[in-house]
Amino acid sequence: MILALAEDAISLQTMLNLQETFANKDRYFISEAKSKIMTFNSRRNEKCVDEFYLHEKPIEHVVSYTHVGINRNSVEKCLVSERIKLARRTCYSLMGAGMHGYNGVNPNIVIKLWNTYVRPRLIFGLDCVTLTRKELDELNFFHKSQLKILQNLPERTADAAIYILSGQMPIEAFLHRQILVNFGNIVRNNDIEKEICIRQLVMKDNTSHSWFIYVNDILSLYEFESIFDILNSIPNRESWKNYVKKRIETFWRQKITNMAEGKSTLRFLHPMSMNCETVHNVWANTGLDSISIMKANVKARLLTGVYTLQSNRSRFNKYE
């Protein structure tokens, strides 16, 4: 959807001509039937007599117009898919430069590159919208699949093992952290934004798509104090940022530990060894030479229970 604003008829017709030119160049079509002209003037009784044209056809003048081609859900869904596409292209660029687990590059370095270049692009802009559970699952699935590739681990590897070895949390954890930090920046000063926040919390229910209701749900997930208590005495930027980071990391470390304890294949991988933002010792203590990295890959597969041993094959062999 395109909205063109102009102070005079000549400027508006010039904008329409430019839109038509670029549409023809990029081979997409702007419908003149769905395009409308609205005139805003202090002299309400005065009618607009100028004619505007698109594809050499006149555009209708209207008093009001509602475009139903785009809604909030479609915009957010498109935003999530675009973030994933951008992150995937960045991953392909890194792999093209040799930064992946299949060619003897230490995953410790690759994960640092992921955190620096890919993860910020994956969640950029998503902290300003309210995402559904399905959209968060889509982001988490892409995040997990890429971490498996970067660590040269097969698809059947348990999710808990992926996070413990890489020192990463699910992508929604980083997204929630950014949302809460932004929330603190918005309401820290006693401005109109804080008044809007209080009004939204009082007037809207849990089914609302309000961003502040979304923030309140996130605070409840990580068992923060009441959002109204936070509004009354929110700390400074650095204190709030560190507090949010600590609470979210504690929550996900415990959840990943519980996930690992229920997996028999991870009996050799100590779940309490996980440290957020720090890779496991199997990667941290690995050198840069290809032989050490190949040995570390074997260790990682043994720890995650995906290395096929003779004892595994014997279960499916009639000759014990």
For the stretch 127-183, pLDDT in tens is 888 888 888 999 999 999 999 988 888 888 899 999 999 989 999 999 999 999 999
* Banded model confidence at residue 239, pLDDT cuts 50, 70, 90: very high
What Rg value do the Cα atoms of the chain yield, rounded? 27
The answer to which of 64-68, 190-194, 303-307 has the lowest mean pLDDT is 64-68
How many Cα atoms occupy the beta-carbon half-sphere of 160 within 13 Å?
A: 26
The answer to which of 36-50, 52-66, 267-281, 282-296 has the lowest mean pLDDT is 36-50
The token pair at 121 is: 């692009």
Counting beta carbons within 10 angstroms of the beta carbon of residue 256, is it exposed (0 to 12), middle (13 to 18) or buried (19 or more)? buried
pLDDT the model gives residue 141: 93
How many whole angstroms separate alpha carbon 102 and alpha carbon 121? 24
How many whole angstroms separate alpha carbon 245 and alpha carbon 238? 11
Q: What is the average per-residue pLDDT within 23-28?
A: 78
* Banded model confidence at residue 266, pLDDT cuts 50, 70, 90: confident
pLDDT the model gives residue 70: 46
* Banded model confidence at residue 255, pLDDT cuts 50, 70, 90: very high
pLDDT the model gives residue 170: 94
Distances (CA, A) of 4 to 28, 31, 54, 315: 18, 15, 13, 69
Beta strands in 94-193 (DSSP E): none
The answer to which of 152-161, 228-237, 260-269 has the lowest mean pLDDT is 260-269
pLDDT greater at residue 71 or residue 191: 191
* Banded model confidence at residue 242, pLDDT cuts 50, 70, 90: very high
For the stretch 206-225, pLDDT in tens is 888 889 999 999 999 999 99
For the stretch 47-97, pLDDT in tens is 566 788 888 888 888 877 766 554 445 445 567 888 888 888 887 776 655
Q: Is the pTM of this model over 0.85?
A: no
pLDDT the model gives residue 222: 94
pLDDT at 107 over 80: yes
pLDDT at 293 over 70: yes
